[in-house]
Structure 1
């Protein structure tokens, strides 16, 4: 069990770059994070949405799985990838821990404004749940899913909630407000990792159970210590049934 890992949000631009360049960027940033950290990368950070190259993006992502597992040596690493199953495409979160793929979850709430429904199949809402990794309860909401408070209820009790995103600049305030509200409502740490492409909001960071937000649009790697006592204190004094 890792009692107090470092929480890490990655933030970088990847649209217009080759898949190989994006993997190299991801690899470089992950190497800058401390051992025993929980590291989150932005949504589809290897391929972008690549609607005109879905088969290629899915094949590349699949081929990168062993390398992503290797990147997670002495770390926990999360990101979403374009995944192909039975001629259908999914935007699937992959969680690696110390060299192994330990959890997957397909995006269940697709973003109509971004044409996701035309290209992706939706995952199952019942797959949105808490998983325990090295003694820490982790849950995931993928980008647009952050807008649904009913999903917040499904994952109450998580210690850390991961939000990989490709969130537009025009809705920057929404991203920040919802991320902070989720941390306060669920009394948990929230890691938000968003793209810093020109049209994207950036706003990546870590929010504490008290709602204190540590964000910086200029940084590629943002870190904050996980403190289980902070979760316990919040849940004990502001008792909503999670203590």
Structure 2
């Protein structure tokens, strides 16, 4: 199994962003779980929210087609009942298998003024090809009560647009999430100039594989490591 964190810049050209993302996904090996940064196709384009949500409809169809022998996850700006959401999509076997919208909106980034919060019940562990997968979106990493909702997952995804000034926070919390839950974490952060990068694949034992200079961080992992760590240091999690 290959776990992959993409670490890319987002331009103002939505179509260019999508084409670049597709190129990277095609380069990724088969049998991979691929995570892209938070709203990687549009960024926080508050003056173009309707345009971004319309473009998401186009992007969903194209990304769905690429999910043949790869699992692809990313968040997109979506619209429902005249409200905009930051919504995670997970594609597998060319189907949409899970969605959840960000519930903890970042106040320092004016998200509360432009997005509606999602439903807390949508944060849950789902099963993909026998693996238990869960997602926390960017700022949601900071909330201990949400860690309880993903406890027991084999792999936790975190798509992010985490600022450069809080780089150490992002890397420390991401590693802690893997250690506390004894699971793999895929942390995918933006490579924009004001963002922290720090994208990584983190093992259940806390080993961090990252490279701030790369767009594709890939690690071939042994999923048996989850059960080995949970048996070695038994804190009540089961595999």
Flag whether TM exceeds 0.5 (same fold): yes
Partner SS for 2:227: helix
Q: Deviations over 1:160-181 (max 9, x none)?
A: 0000000000000000000000
What residue in structure 2 maps to residue 12 of structure 1? 8
Hey, which bits of structure 1, 4+ residues long, moved more than 2 A? Answer: none
Partner SS for 2:17: helix
TM-score relative to the length of structure 2: 0.98
- Check if 1:152 corresponds to 2:147: yes
- Structure 1 unaligned segments of length 5 or more: list them: none
Question: How far did residue 73 of structure 1 move?
Answer: 1.7
- Structure 2 unaligned segments of length 5 or more: list them: none
Partner SS for 1:193: strand
Partner SS for 2:201: strand
What residue in structure 2 maps to residue 210 of structure 1? 205
From 129, 139, 142, give the equivalent of 2:137: 142
Partner SS for 1:197: coil
From 226, 229, 234, give the equivalent of 1:231: 226
Instruction: Give distance in 1, aligned partners of 2:227 and 2:147.
Output: 19
Q: Deviations over 1:43-69 (max 9, x none)?
A: 000111110000000000012211010
CA RMSD of aligned residues (A): 0.8
- Check if 1:43 corresponds to 2:66: no
Q: Deviations over 1:61-110 (max 9, x none)?
A: 01221101012121000000000001010000000002111100000110
- Check if 1:179 corresponds to 2:179: no
Instruction: Give distance in 2, aligned partners of 1:76 and 1:49.
Output: 25
What residue in structure 1 maps to residue 17 of structure 2? 22
- Check if 1:126 corresponds to 2:114: no
